[in-house]
Structure 1
Amino acid sequence: MVGRLLLLLAVLTTRQLAGAAAASSSSSKVVTRLPGFQGRLPFHLETGYVEVDEDNGTELFYYFIESEAGTEDAPFLLWLTGGDHCTVFSGLAFEIGPVKFVVEPYSGTTPRLEINPHSWTKVANILFVDTPVGAGFSFSRRPQGYHVGEVSTSLQLHEFLIKWIGDHPKFLSSPLYIGGDSYAGKIVPFITQKISEGNEVGRRPLLNLKGYLVGNPATGERIDESSKVPFAHGFGIISDQLYETILGHCQGQDYKNPTSVLCAKALGTFHSLLSEVMLAHILREKCVFSSAGPHAETGDSAASASRKILNEEEAVIVTGKRVKHPPPRVSLGCYSYTAYLSYFWANDALTRDALGIKDGTVDEWVRCHSGDLPYAVDIGSSIRYHRNVTANGYRALVYIMVLSAERLNLAGICIGVGSGDHDAVVPHLGTQAWVRSLGFPIVDQWRAWHLDDQSAGFTISYSNNMTFATVKGAGHTAPQYERCYAMFSRWILDQPL
């Protein structure tokens, strides 16, 4: 890992001295065609860069898709993805964007794309940003620019929004929402608070901030980890005896770093049993994650090992681009197969040309950096920011996937880190617990919400404008999952679920 980072920094320094990357504070391009998609795009796509750190030449890459509703008052959503160093293209192509990959065996040619009939862009303008720097096509001309963390990245995103909307004044009055899933769900409320504070002190342009939404979000709190134990017990993964032992010996301890020998032993047994199932969905067969992120579950060990044994001689040639670190081979029936395809699509020379990627900036696109870039975890807990922002009157939607959920932006399922009732990564028990801990009165009791006269999930609303919702079902991929779109469109348009 250290070796790859040093190599990356050396290459970047060489390019900086050689002047390989053009110096530009911002740039954009209207994209009318994409490799793998037949014909012209039936939606407005703009890509480009915004400089957020002039000293280091840090530029964040974005994809902007204008609302297909065609209305002037359509909501505006800034969307972030999990990771922490995963490309936002995962959110665009696997979750909420207007295109998705055709699931078919990779043949060495550009993977094909098709329309997602349940894209969130049908009701909202969505700005997808590769963040933090180093994710996707975002880059820095100086090695120091890659030394960022949760706080500095959030401030860069605020700077990004100020500049981007300043360059696109037609969206200045659009209702603004900040959204994200998985690990990004941890920093979304923090960014929202910073934007609110910027408006209060008169930073211009004033952003028309209305609220935020997070899908199965991590919080940084112990509850994310400790809730796995009652979850596993409830599903019969661990025995009554082990459950009682953990409760008896681990009370008040950090489950990731237990101080008691007896607690550590019990948790070791717990994790061994939990590793027998797919954490993202305990009913599914375990599957290798394609280009998994640094917070990967046990299934990622195989992915890591697979990548380590690949050397320069085994690199794959993709339409004139050398893929130096191919992702683990994934079987066609695996839910992460589309993530596997994305690797070859994004490294295609035709794709880079279509997207307007700057030469000499990102040598090789990877879906997620596996911990090989620095990133400071300096937001201890996001819960206080949830409380602060909603107490100031901003709307909030916290939702979880029920029956099937995912994390880290892997291909498939409706947005998220996994708090569904078959997901063991950040179980729904923990999510509900911290929402209740905010202490706001209930204004609309727990009830079902419906789609086509059937229960689509359950929801509860609080006096601080926070809505908690579950999305029921076992959809394989988010683009095929209508309930997710129905939940979002109703909430973002301020309609009852």
Structure 2
Amino acid sequence: MHQILMQKMRLQSRSRLQPWKHYCNKPSSSQLNPMLFAVCLLLASLDVIKSQFLVKTLPGLDGELPFTLETGYIGVGESDDEQLFYYFIESEGNPEDDPLMIWFTGGPGCSSLSGLMFEIGPFTINYATSTLENPILELVPYSWTKVANIIFLDQPAGSGFSYAKTPESYITNDTLASKLAYSFLRKWLVDHPKFFSNPLYVGGDSYSGKIVPLVVQEIYNGNEIGEEQPLNIKGYTVGNPFTDTSGDYNSRIPFAHHMALLSDAIYKSAKENCGGEYLTVDPNNSLCIHALQTVDKCLERININHILEPVCDTSNTLKSDLFRRDLRGLDKTSLDTWSLPQAQKQWCRDDKNEYTAAWANRKDVREALHIHEEFNNIEWVRCNESLEHDFFIETPSYAHNVMSVVGYHRHFADKKCRALVYSGDHDMVIPHLGTLNWIQSLNLPVVDDWRPWFVDEQVAGYTMKYMNSADQSLIFATVKGGGHTAAEFKPKECLNMFIRWLADDTL
């Protein structure tokens, strides 16, 4: 029997007022004498509880790294109880002038190593030469660090190599996680003052489609109240973004029909009997429930991360039910599927999780990355299930307290802010149809209507541009053949897209 389950918090980090702040906060740091301001930055850096190290080599990769990698911890929250770990890679172009971007991975609770190794970073695992006992790394040509300085942040505490000093500090929610991420960014910039003047962008994908706008808002709030040195925020980018809970989920069935996974009759039955609402369904609506059972039978063996890729885990006996799936499907490629006893187990995209965990849990890797000793007995996992959000079941560690961030995007449209929103067009986790729907709901003026964009004279996707000025625009782009998330499946196209957007060139 197809059962539809019914859907069943603001903490502000505090900092101690140090003596130097009495001078540096009068009235705005940007108005201080340059020499005094430099002294303030130095004193501020001494006040931040942190550690940072340059990493010259990495186990699994021969020779010295051909790029500058720094890792470290910065404490945030009350008494710096949350120790957030980061990987910082300087731009391989012109780090002094190139933009600075902080990148958030989804989940929530998934390590930023995912974004670094499999989406937009400069190295990954070479599966052809690797074993679980000895993962081998290789450089990749389509890293976004070719043109930007990028901070990959493990957040919230409990993600990747980040941890908390008290059990209570592991309990968080969307707004608190965003405030602490903003606190991290300010502390990081105080410790890296040479990047204060670089254009600043905030980026992320999947579940971080919620976190990115919340952090951008924190930046604007801080700038408007004159909080220390203003941040040079220029815009943000979100890929395959979870934005509006109802809209994103309810776009899955229309997307499946759009992609010929559902017949006209099946789609019509579901739409009419459920009224377009497939997430929270009246348990007494037997016609809707019956229609969704039919939908499930059509989609239960479809890989929702990329509908053209095979379902990988043939040993998992848990049945997939697309419309009872929780947000653990976001940013985690393993799927719950029917057992296929006759199929042979072959390497697939999901296996990257095993290789990454094998690499990250090696002692020499942790030593190279300078992981805190407090983390010695903690296993690194790609996604921390105690933090990952379940829409239908309230979890004690992470509260899903922001249902939609569409209003934030509408607010940013009134500011000097540039936005890039992109979607893999074969992603059924966060279908591009839902993303396009909320963008259209902003009622922004269209200055460049739907058209193809190209890489190597081939169609790389389709794009629209809203508003049009040097410092105010929103671009939506699909990535042809991309899944969840787009950069993992189409790295060359996504790098081209990112380069053009940064340069304000036409896609």
Pick the TM interval, shorter chain.
0.7 to 0.9
| Mapped contact 1:289–1:303 kept (Cα < 8 A) | yes
Greater displacement, 200-209 / 269-278 = 269-278
Rounded to whole Å, the distance in 2 between the matches of 1:149 and 1:477 is 27
Residue 342 of structure 1 pairs with residue 356 of structure 2: yes
1:424 matched to 2:454? The reply is no
SS of the residue aligned with 2:367? Answer: helix
1:333 aligns with 2:331: no
Matches within 5 A, 1:288-327: 288=313, 295-296=328-329, 300-301=335-336
In the alignment, the residues of structure 2 paired with residue 490 and residue 46 of structure 1 have an alpha-carbon distance, to the nearest angstrom, of 27
Distance 1:336 1:111, change over 3 A: same
Question: Aligned-pair distance for 1:368?
Answer: 0.6
Equivalent in the alignment of 1:396: 419
The Cα of 1:459 is off from its aligned counterpart by 1.3
Shift of 1:204: 1.6
SS at match of 1:429: helix
User: 387, 407, 417: which is aligned to 1:384?
Assistant: 407
Report the more deviating stretch, 474-483 or 441-450. Answer: 474-483
Q: Which residue of 2 aligns with 1:466?
A: 474
Q: Secondary structure at the match of 1:457?
A: strand
Residue of structure 2 in register with 1:60 after alignment: 84
Q: What's the offset of the Cα at 1:97?
A: 0.4
Shift of 1:332: 5.4
Alignment of 1:234-253 (within 5 A): 234-251=258-275, 253=277
Q: What is the match of residue 286 of structure 1?
A: 311
For the 8 Å contact 1:290–1:340, the answer to whether it is kept is no
The Cα of 1:222 is off from its aligned counterpart by 1.4
Equivalences for 1:359-374 in 2 at 5 Å?
359-361=373-375, 363-371=378-386, 374=397
Give the residue type in structure 1 aligned to 2:414: A
C-alpha contact 1:293 1:368 (8 A) present in aligned 2: no
Structure 2 residue corresponding to 1:189, chosen from 200, 204, 213: 213
Write the letter of the residue equivalent to 1:494: D
Q: Please point out which of 246, 266, 273 is paired with 2:298.
A: 273
Tell me the equivalent position of 1:166: 190
Query: CA 1:293–1:24 in structure 2 vs 1: closer, same or farther (change >3 Å)?
Result: farther
The answer (yes or no) to whether the contact 2:301–2:337 under 8 Å persists in 1 is no
1:438 lines up with 2:438 in the alignment: no
1:468-483 matches, within 5 Å, as: 468-473=476-481, 478=488, 481-483=491-493
Matching of residues 25-40 of structure 1 within 5 Å: 25-40=49-64
CA distance in structure 1 between the partners assigned to 2:448 and 2:300 by the alignment: 38
SS state of the match for residue 349, structure 2? coil
Q: CA 1:252 to 1:241, structure 2 compared with 1: closer, same or farther past 3 Å? A: closer
Query: Percent of aligned positions with the same letter in both sequences?
Result: 43
Matched-pair contact (CA < 8 Å) for 2:48–2:187: no
SS at match of 2:375: coil
Separation in structure 1 between the aligned mates of residue 260 and residue 494 of structure 2, nearest angstrom: 29
* 1:111-190 aligned within 5 A: 111-190=135-214
* Deviation, structure 1 residue 296: 2.4
From the superposition, tell whether residues 357 and 106 of structure 1 become closer, same or farther in structure 2 (CA, over 3 Å).
Answer: same
CA 1:247–1:253 in 2, change beyond 3 Å: closer, same or farther? same
5+ residue gaps in structure 2? 1-46, 317-324, 388-395
Q: How far, CA to CA, are the matches of 1:303 and 1:343 in structure 2?
A: 25
Q: How far apart, in 2, do the equivalents of 1:367 and 1:348 lie?
A: 14
CA distance in structure 2 between the aligned counterparts of 1:290 and 1:28, rounded to whole angstroms:
42
Look up the match of 1:485. Answer: 495
Q: Give SS of 2:267's match.
A: helix
- Structure 1 residue 479: deviation in Å? 8.1
Distance 1:210 1:56, change over 3 A: closer
Equivalent pair of 1:293/1:370 in contact (CA under 8 Å): no
> Which residue, 99, 109, 113 being the options, matches 1:75?
99
Aligned partners of 1:300 and 1:277: how far apart in 2?
A: 9
- Bigger radius of gyration among the two: 2
Match of 1:300, SS state, is coil
Q: CA deviation at 1:370?
A: 2.1
Candidates 244, 253, 259, aligned match of 1:229? 253
The worse-fitting range, judged by mean Cα deviation, of 342-351 and 445-454 is 445-454
In structure 2, what is the Cα distance between the partners aligned to 1:331 and 1:252? 38
Q: Deviations over 1:47-66 (max 9, x none)?
A: 00111113361110000000
Alignment check: 8 A CA contact 2:120 2:144 kept? yes
**Mean CA deviation greater in 236-245 or 223-232:** 236-245
Structure 2 vs 1, CA of residues 205 and 271 (structure 1 numbering), >3 Å: closer, same or farther?
farther
Larger deviation, residues 268-277 vs 223-232: 268-277
- 3-state secondary structure, aligned to 1:255: coil
Cα deviation digits, residues 216-274 of structure 1 (max 9, x gap): 10113312111111222233322333212212121164524445332233223322321
With over 3 angstroms needed to count, the CA separation of the structure-2 counterparts of 1:207 and 1:83, relative to structure 1, is: same
Tell me the distance in 2 between the aligned counterparts of 1:73 and 1:272.
53
Q: CA deviation at 1:380?
A: 1.5
Measured in 2, the distance between the counterparts of 1:92 and 1:73 equals 22
**Comparing 255-264 with 28-37, which one deviates more in the overlay?**
255-264
Partner in structure 2 of residue 496 of structure 1: 506
Give the counterpart letter for 1:295 in structure 2: R
Q: CA RMSD in A?
A: 2.7
Look up the equivalent residue of 1:300 and give its one-letter code: L
The correspondence of residues 35-46 of structure 1 with structure 2, limited to 5 A, is: 35-46=59-70
Deviation at 1:82, TM superposition (A): 1.1
User: Pick from 259, 263, 276: which aligns with 2:288?
Assistant: 263
Q: How far does residue 99 in structure 1 lie from its aligned partner after superposition?
A: 0.5
User: What residue identity is the alignment partner of 2:428?
Assistant: A
Q: Which runs of 5+ in 1 are unaligned?
A: 1-22, 305-329, 402-419
CA distance in structure 2 between the aligned counterparts of 1:146 and 1:173, rounded to whole angstroms: 33
- Number of residue pairs aligned between Structure 1 and Structure 2: 431
> Counterpart of 1:382 in structure 2: which amino acid?
V
1:140-177, CA deviations, whole angstroms, 9 ceiling, x for partnerless residues? 01000000011000000110011000000000001000
Distance in 2 separating the partners of 1:193 and 1:109: 44
1:352 aligns with 2:366: yes
Answer yes or no: is 1:213 the counterpart of 2:237: yes
After superposition, the Cα gap between the structure-2 partners of 1:207 and 1:331, relative to the gap in structure 1 and judged at 3 Å, is farther
Per-residue Cα deviation, 1:347-400 (whole angstroms, up to 9, x for no partner)? 000000000001122611011112467101011101111111122121000011
